[in-house]
Structure 1
Amino acid sequence: MAERSAGGGVQSVERVFELLELITDAGGSATLSELSATAGLPLPTIHRLLRTLVKLGYARQLPTRRYVLGPRLIRLGEGAGKQLGALATPVLRKLADEVGETANMAVLDSDQVLYIAQAPSRHSMRTFTEVGRRAHSHATGVGKAILAQLTDEQVRGIVARTGLPAATPASIPSIEGLLADLAIIRERGYAIDEQEQELGVRCFAAAVPDAPTPTAISVSGPVSRVDEAFGERAVPMLQAAAREISGDLALQHA
């Protein structure tokens, strides 16, 4: 019979999900000893749980004996992303109507941002980011709003794994510059993409508080329309929309 945890759950299930999250936090790859040290569990227990995850396809063991996330998690992640995007879409549509520009939502996935929902602007000249597209976090408004939710150590880990490829000449070129920008974002409560992902496009982004995974929403458009005056008007609406999505998520889990 399965062991019960102090909170009334099933302890083995809790441990399995803890292992998956630890592998994710380690950048998607970890050794048995690293997981044992971080989780504070005996090696035989960790090995038994990982063996089950590998058998089911939710983890893989590389020839180097490191464990990585398995392919069966992709389908679960895609399904969860669609549900999260579907929940947020009405709020994004309202936001896009209010500010007159395209609204997007993205989550952190495998060290990159993954766009999961969008409400397009009604302008004929508008920005367009395909749902399902991935981008480097340091060069996007949603990405920087997401990174600002992490510790500097976690950000350094992501950059060590992905680098800082320049999407445009305006992209942030160094980890020191990125960390300085993230400190400003944390203080003022929103991020700005100053043509760092695409020349001629400016983006304002804000984190979704208390989301189950680091999440952010944004409004973006041509720099001719999305200027400082636009930001002063749109940022409070953007932040209100992020809080509304956070509230909707809380209701889903109540």
Structure 2
Amino acid sequence: MTGPRRASGGVQSVERTFELLELMADAGGEVALSDLAESSGLPLPTIHRIMRTLVGAGYARQQPSRRYALGPRLIRLGETASRALGAWARPYLAELTEKTGETSNMAVLDGEQIVYVAQVPSQHSMRMFTEVGRRVDAHATAVGKAVMANMPADAVTQMLTRAGMRPQTERTITTIGAMHDELARIRQDGYAVDDGEQEVGVRCYAVAVPGAPAGAGISISGPEGRMTRITTDEVIPLMQRLARELSSELSVSA
């Protein structure tokens, strides 16, 4: 980012406040004033004034190092937003589960991890269950890869460098170069696959929800034996349609 964003018809101070919060989140939740100035292009006195206001309200806190971190009051906002997002997503996930027979999920990128915000389980006795609210490393999940495929390459590199790429199974992608190759394939094909990379014997397909501000995706997952019988030529267009429809509803609701 080379300079401050222009006001888009709203209140400029509010736009700047949320811009700084997003920059802090992009940086891993903690950042120095000088870094915010470089990233946003805003004057240091303006940034300092906004940060003092956020600290006073509990939405940011100042560390002993003088760096600023995201504050605890944001947790309540995030939890409430996640519940609302899950409620919006559930009818679309229900259709996906009905037509595929497998568990469907919606998840969002939060920092360097994926957080599951909604799920509709399969009716099979053997099915995949991911608790809503569970956090997992983005690099080892189909949803995480689908979201990263829509991010700038340098942002992906920075995120993976901060988070590390711990192997979850022997199939987990554990190098940044290999991940960029995988993301290029995802952009070309339009969907991501987790082929036993998070859990042995589990396969997952995911697509990004276009235009979702937090970086979101929907997925289906199940035992590898059943999932390999699902034809991607049929299920991926269905998932992409549902993701577009969900994106449209989120845009209308915003």
TM-score tier after normalising by the smaller chain length: over 0.9
1:168-212 CA deviation, whole Å, 9 max, x = no partner?
111112111111101100111000001001111100000001112
Runs of 4+, deviation exceeding 3 Å: 5-8
1:17-63 CA deviation, whole Å, 9 max, x = no partner?
11111111222221111111222222111111101101111011112
CA contact (8 A) 2:7 2:15 kept: no
Which residue in the other structure is 2:96 paired with? 95
Q: Report the count of equivalent residues.
A: 249
Q: Give the deviation of 1:98 after TM superposition.
A: 0.5
Q: Give the deviation of 1:6 after TM superposition.
A: 5.2
Question: In 1, Cα distance between the equivalents of 2:92 and 2:7?
Answer: 38
Q: Report the residue type matching 1:241 in the other structure.
A: L
Which residue in the other structure is 2:3 paired with? none
Question: In 1, Cα distance between the equivalents of 2:228 and 2:41?
Answer: 50
- Secondary structure at the aligned position of 2:227 is classed as coil
Q: Give the deviation of 1:228 after TM superposition.
A: 5.6
Which residue in the other structure is 1:26 paired with? 27
Question: In 2, Cα distance between the equivalents of 1:6 and 1:139?
Answer: 38
Q: Give the deviation of 1:167 after TM superposition.
A: 1.0
Which residue in the other structure is 2:170 paired with? 169
Which residue in the other structure is 2:245 paired with? 244
Question: In 1, Cα distance between the equivalents of 2:15 and 2:227?
Answer: 46
CA 144–7 in structure 1, closer or farther in 2 if over 3 Å, else same: closer
Q: Report the residue type matching 1:23 in the other structure.
A: M
* Same amino acid, percent of matched pairs: 55
Question: In 2, Cα distance between the equivalents of 1:7 and 1:151?
Answer: 23
1:63-74 equivalences under 5 Å are 63-74=64-75
- Secondary structure at the aligned position of 1:210 is classed as coil
1:75-118 CA deviation, whole Å, 9 max, x = no partner?
10111111111001011001100011000000000210000000
Q: Give the deviation of 1:230 after TM superposition.
A: 3.2
Q: Give the deviation of 1:229 after TM superposition.
A: 4.3
Which residue in the other structure is 2:200 paired with? 199
TM-score between both structures, scaled by the size of structure 2: 0.94
Q: Give the deviation of 1:9 after TM superposition.
A: 2.2
CA 136–6 in structure 1, closer or farther in 2 if over 3 Å, else same: closer
- Secondary structure at the aligned position of 1:241 is classed as helix
Q: Unaligned regions of 5+ residues in structure 1, if any?
A: none
Q: Unaligned regions of 5+ residues in structure 2, if any?
A: 1-5
Q: Give the deviation of 1:231 after TM superposition.
A: 2.5
CA contact (8 A) 2:172 2:197 kept: yes
Question: In 2, Cα distance between the equivalents of 1:32 and 1:17?
Answer: 15
Q: Give the deviation of 1:15 after TM superposition.
A: 1.3
Q: RMSD of the TM alignment (CA)?
A: 1.3
Question: In 1, Cα distance between the equivalents of 2:49 and 2:123?
Answer: 54
CA 196–6 in structure 1, closer or farther in 2 if over 3 Å, else same: closer
Which residue in the other structure is 2:82 paired with? 81
1:88-127 equivalences under 5 Å are 88-127=89-128
TM-score between both structures, scaled by the size of structure 1: 0.94
CA 131–6 in structure 1, closer or farther in 2 if over 3 Å, else same: closer
Question: In 2, Cα distance between the equivalents of 1:221 and 1:8?
Answer: 46
CA contact (8 A) 2:141 2:197 kept: yes
